Structure 1
Amino acid sequence: MENPFTPTFGEIPPILAGRSIILNELSRAYGASRRRPCLTTAITGARGSGKTALMAAAAEEACRRGWVVAKTVALPGMLDDILITARRESAHLVAETSTPRLSAVEIGQFVGLEWENPERLSNWRNEITLLLEQLERCGTGLLITVDEVQPTLPEMIQLASVYQLLVTEGRKVAMLFAGLPHNMLSLERDKRVSFLRRSQKMCLGRIADFEVREAMRKTVEEGGRQIEEEALDLAVEAAGGFPYMMQLVGFRMWDARDSCDPITTDDALEGVRIASAELLEGIVKVTYGGLSAGDKAFLSRMAKMEAPTSSKIAKAMGKSASYATQYKNRLLGQGVIEEGLDGVLRFQMPLLADYVAGLAQD
């Protein structure tokens, strides 16, 4: 029996937990006659928070609505990639055109003119505008998705700048762009593309346990099996509201036995054990290893406290409030921690708190 869980990069889960609001909003926007704010959306979150899967689901919905979709990653050559993909995906709607050029011919004693059709001189903005005009005549638009945003990439700045002009001109175009919080913040701070500060924001944090529970149960049942309540409790607790961990635990507990029987508590325990080891090596250690010494010192103090706040951590470290706030904001910006309305900080990623606390004891 095929395993229905999807702990793989960018694959859309059968049940996408906690994302129905933004997907429904985008679905309405694709079919609306007037432009809606969500057609320009910045998606942020820590590694494993489901950014790529959400964009893939949004792109899939756009295709269902008849839009042309061009997906890319923020790398050199991304503008060519967008144009080539958009042309390929719209080939059934539009035809290639060529722009004529003047050449001189002699007519009697005078010089006359005739038109030829050599390769035209153009640029990316002009090419994408021509394509959008053709798509508009067909009653559709273009969705561009950009993953792994890199604020220092010149083509990222060029894309954002041209996109702003296209929106101003009333073109039927949308852009979803995703990246780690600190990269997205750096991009928005660039004065050349400051309009992105007004884009709709979607910060992917923890998914509520009840939504995780429902998604895991439905995934199991639609896959053709059942799951014991206690096993589901264990899986939900281990997932910690983290999309990647939810898929990883589900995948491993499904595979714990090659059977069509209901998933048991023992299956869930085995799945949690394997998934936890994989999350630790693949996400937690990588994330922690990329932090500065100051970040790590802040987290170390945080891991030792109950209901930690910025002021408590500052006092424990013997530092000023502004010092602690600086590192708190850095860690919030990287999606490592989150702050409640009461000011209490918590680790956003499952197992990270235990990992940091374990390092402090070594």
Structure 2
Amino acid sequence: MTAPLRVGVLGCADIALRRMLPALAAAPTAELAAVASRDPAKARQAAAPYGCRAVHGYRALLDDDAVDAVYIPLPAALHAPWTEAALTAGKHVLAEKPLTTDAATTARLTDLARARGRVLMENVMFVHHGLHRAVRDLVADGAIGELRSFHAAFCVPRRDPGDIRLRADLGGGALADTGVYPLRAALHHLGTGLRTAGAALTHPHGADPTTTPVETSGSALLTTPEGVTAHLTFGLDHAYLNRYELHGSHGRLTVDRAFTPPADHAPVIHLETPGRGRALRVPAEDQVANTVAAFTAAVRNGTPPDPVTLVQATLLDELRAAAGTPTAPAGGAAYSNSGGMP
């Protein structure tokens, strides 16, 4: 029997505490080996429920030979330097999305992972839920006729002023935070040939982007070579919305709670055709557990980085350019033994 993959966690971010630590601890193919923080007390508090080791400082975790892989839930601007450090230290990496803040850095890190023979995976969890395979099967079977357009939205209510998602120096902003979801869904359903047709990024109160930290909302229009359009909406100052739709020549598919369904939630695909509407229920799945399983399987099989990760990063750069917003600075700020965030 193959030994479980020994995973260390760099940081005590909310997503790590709520979702990934429990999933790693419960996974039969993984062992939660350690949690690192620049604050020893936070590391001990996070590690205690799982009986794993608490480590002071991210560098100390990367130097630990009893750790095979790391999960990086740090702010977006810190993904690149710590991913590079982890790969260089010989660790496999599962990093939160977006993997980096620009396509050039994403390309460099995926090349590094291949050169080192290490797995590098971006933590996009929803693609590991069977719901989206069911949607693709329905479209392929002609349930809505010829596909005409894709519409997706992921919006969340206003954040506290000090929220890291509103800090430009940490890679914040609506596009990187909530925009990645509808963009990745468009790539998932329409393929990697998407081209940018236009984009708008809105700063608070319509202010000049040069004087406001980050955009809080946005929209984008992309097209496939065949002319199928993708309409994307995202934001950090909205009524909650988490949905996508596929429109065809004689029908429409709608999926609510598309990106973050709870493990016990059985999603429903709403299929509408002329004169008829149906609700097709899909079995509940734990997409967090599925993601951990996919990562450990990738390590076991030596799977190279998913090319979609770089396509997505390139499109994010293109959307910023189309909106007249400079590309986010490359992740690579100086980092110390303890790392940026706790």
- TM-score, normalised to structure 2's length? 0.29
| More strand per residue | 2
Larger radius of gyration: 1
| More helix per residue | 1
- TM-score, normalised to structure 1's length? 0.28
1 or 2 for the larger relative contact order (CA 8 Å, sep ≥6)? Answer: 2
